[in-house]
Amino acid sequence: MIQNISDDLRKEFPKMKGLSYKNLSYMRQFFAEYNNDQILQQAVGEIPWSHNIIIFSKLKNINQRIWYAQQTIENGWSRNVLSLQIKSNLHERSAKKV
């Protein structure tokens, strides 16, 4: 179904980017996971789409998602820095310091 939608959208809007099957799947997942969480919506609404994909692809815990989104905003992290911080478990390491 998503593939058909992607194909139809790309035919209708050939110059528009971001209508691939993969990107539409990310959009669907984003909506399904975030549509009822106001706090998370506020945080993820302030960061780029590519950062959001990294966060919801790599993290399942809502509190971690919020924390990394907020840290991305506060520190101006690039996608590479965000990925590195998640991979290095910065959230866990920061919690142990407190």
% pLDDT > 90, the chain: 68
Q: How confident is the model at residue 11 (pLDDT cuts 50, 70, 90)?
A: very high
pLDDT digits (tens, 9 = 90+) for 88-98: 999 998 877 65
Q: How confident is the model at residue 59 (pLDDT cuts 50, 70, 90)?
A: very high
Q: At what angle do helices 79-87 and 62-75 cross, to 10 degrees?
A: 140
Q: Mean pLDDT in the chain?
A: 91
Residue 54 to residue 72: CA distance in whole angstroms: 11
